[in-house]
Structure 1
């Protein structure tokens, strides 16, 4: 090679080497920036795991919580329970049913079913009742693997003093509490600040963040300021064993006319007003499916779900009050409800206030309380 040709070749090689070095350096500079681009995505995912809406948690839970009455010739013990599987099995406390000759299970829609005990602890205050009529109904999710910690926010549901689906809020104020009451041994119990008293026994303790059941409410102090709940993960294996081993044809449900219905006018009114409140509560949180299921078959035949939803979808800030009920001669209940709401349809330019008086006719259909007729008068 001539000396004159060496110069350009050397320069070219130097340029190539310099280019490789530059690209490598730029790659090192860009590499951290490429990794950091993922951070906003991670933050976005985390933001979607915020606590569930409190009102939605309560509304969903109320569908699965029942009132339990354990009766014998001498007394009646009132407690609570909740559906946890598709077989119609209800978790409650053993002390609610241990002396019962007859067990009545009252659902959220006011109907009473006979229940049969399929398992009960001798030392552990836990029992399971089966009601076949409640199979495939709405159930509560159970967190059977995680222990709650002090400071966790909780929701307690039950029927204190017979007031069905009462809700109290609080926190886990202590853990690993051990004591004995009336022959039952409570070990590793949660101490809770949510108030519970007579009738709360057997109701669910729900984690405020996840909406899952973490405990079974069992004992409260006389003043109601401190309660104790059995961690569900401590007893879940035993509960599922009882459910898996139970056979319906071997159970005694004590099914009689006295159990399946009630002719007490005060009780009829209480049950009907609960259905009415549940109907308007469902609409207020836009659970139109839940509200529609409370309608009787004739109303559903005359009014499709789409038309029903269209009639309420534009309501905002719905509030109801002034429930008043009377019992008719055929044991139906006429319930009037005052409703106020804001509404704005696509055709309207501004939101309007509405004051409406509803009259609901509520009665039995297929052994359940249903809304058989709705009349409304718009005062706005």
Structure 2
């Protein structure tokens, strides 16, 4: 009996002293798959939700920004962008123009919500509703400064809990950001670089452009939800968008045509073929199915284009031209080849919206 006990103790002591190793191929498969979201993809997706807001009265036009908030077509912006407007219009990322109606505007908080019925059902960016950002978080600020739609600036949260007043509006617990906010950025979204979520509403900046301030979305979300839930479409007043198009000056039309061209080529570059196809006029879409359009660009590895030039033509159309370098994958090979083309676009209004009515390319 004693010999047996001693043997058992020696076996246990020997087993306990050995290093335990696991050689299981299943375990080896488990790895950290967490990756940072691609910056270019974040920006391109965000641009679809960013809206240029134009408030007009008898004496002036104020341009600001906003972003789609829900599937009702509600857009969050700043109160100071629309407070003096008699008519409000929006321009989407693909240059569509629609009238908007106010469903809520703050008296002390620089926040407002407008509704565009034509944008109902569109996809929106996620909101960070639970956690405030911290100093050092990387951010992306989008807006339309000086009329340049969908301009992007990068920075960090450089301060929090900033309290001050500007032009009768009180800002509480605002984010201080290093991303520049200038005229036209007001109302645009502040996006957290790491997650792609909207964390604030860009509102004001210093005169030298070195510091900007953004309202945390958490601070105003309850009021925004209340306005959205209480608004009834039949009680809202919308202006006639045709009046805006007729009053647009030629320079603004040229800028709009250049933007459509830029967005079309950028969509192909990012492989957003649906976004590019929607910019084509009805006659082009009747001649070219979406599948055919997609297949003509599916092998594009990279696309770069030079500065876009524009000029007015007959029949109220605008011609835009640019030099495009396309890198394509060679079929059945690992190699690619580059070719440069001169693209020419004919752009005009179709159903009150700017569309690509025709385009052609010639190899240089």
**Cα separation, 2, equivalents of 1:294 and 1:215:** 30
Q: Which residue of 1 aligns with 2:262?
A: 277
- Structure 1 residue 227 and structure 2 residue 190: aligned? no
Decide which of 236, 250, 274 is 1:265's aligned counterpart.
250
Deviating runs (4+, > 3 A) in structure 1?
A: 17-40, 260-263, 347-350
TM-score normalised by length of structure 2: 0.91
1:117-173 CA-to-partner distances (Å, cap 9, x unmatched) read 100111111000001011122322211111000000001011111111111110000
Decide which of 117, 141, 144 is 1:132's aligned counterpart.
117
Question: Cα–Cα, structure 1 residues 205 and 39, in superposed 2: closer, same or farther, change >3 Å?
Answer: farther
The alpha-carbon deviation at position 263 of structure 1 amounts to 4.5
> Which region of structure 1 is more displaced relative to structure 2, 159-168 or 30-39?
30-39
| Unmatched segments (≥5 aa) in structure 1 | 1-9
- Structure 1 residue 352 and structure 2 residue 333: aligned? no
Question: Cα–Cα, structure 1 residues 38 and 232, in superposed 2: closer, same or farther, change >3 Å?
Answer: farther
**Cα separation, 2, equivalents of 1:37 and 1:25:** 29
**Cα separation, 1, equivalents of 2:271 and 2:353:** 23
Question: Cα–Cα, structure 1 residues 371 and 30, in superposed 2: closer, same or farther, change >3 Å?
Answer: farther
The alpha-carbon deviation at position 341 of structure 1 amounts to 2.1
Question: Cα–Cα, structure 1 residues 217 and 346, in superposed 2: closer, same or farther, change >3 Å?
Answer: same
- Structure 1 residue 247 and structure 2 residue 232: aligned? yes
Give the secondary-structure state (helix, strand or coil) at the position aligned to 2:308.
strand
Contact 1:113–1:260 (CA under 8 A) maintained in structure 2: no
Decide which of 353, 357, 361 is 1:372's aligned counterpart.
357
Contact 1:114–1:260 (CA under 8 A) maintained in structure 2: no
Question: Cα–Cα, structure 1 residues 352 and 39, in superposed 2: closer, same or farther, change >3 Å?
Answer: closer
1:280-325 CA-to-partner distances (Å, cap 9, x unmatched) read 1111122222222222233223222232222112222311013222
1:225-272 CA-to-partner distances (Å, cap 9, x unmatched) read 000000001111111111111111101112263235555221111111
**Cα separation, 2, equivalents of 1:370 and 1:257:** 16
Decide which of 316, 319, 324 is 1:334's aligned counterpart.
319
**Cα separation, 2, equivalents of 1:110 and 1:256:** 13
**Correspondences of 1:317-328 after superposition (within 5 Å):** 317-328=302-313
Contact 1:339–1:356 (CA under 8 A) maintained in structure 2: yes
Q: CA RMSD in A?
A: 2.8
Pairs aligned (count) = 364
Give the secondary-structure state (helix, strand or coil) at the position aligned to 1:369.
strand
Q: Which of 1 and 2 has greater Rg?
A: 1
1:18-38 CA-to-partner distances (Å, cap 9, x unmatched) read 799969986996877489985
- Structure 1 residue 206 and structure 2 residue 196: aligned? no
- Structure 1 residue 184 and structure 2 residue 203: aligned? no
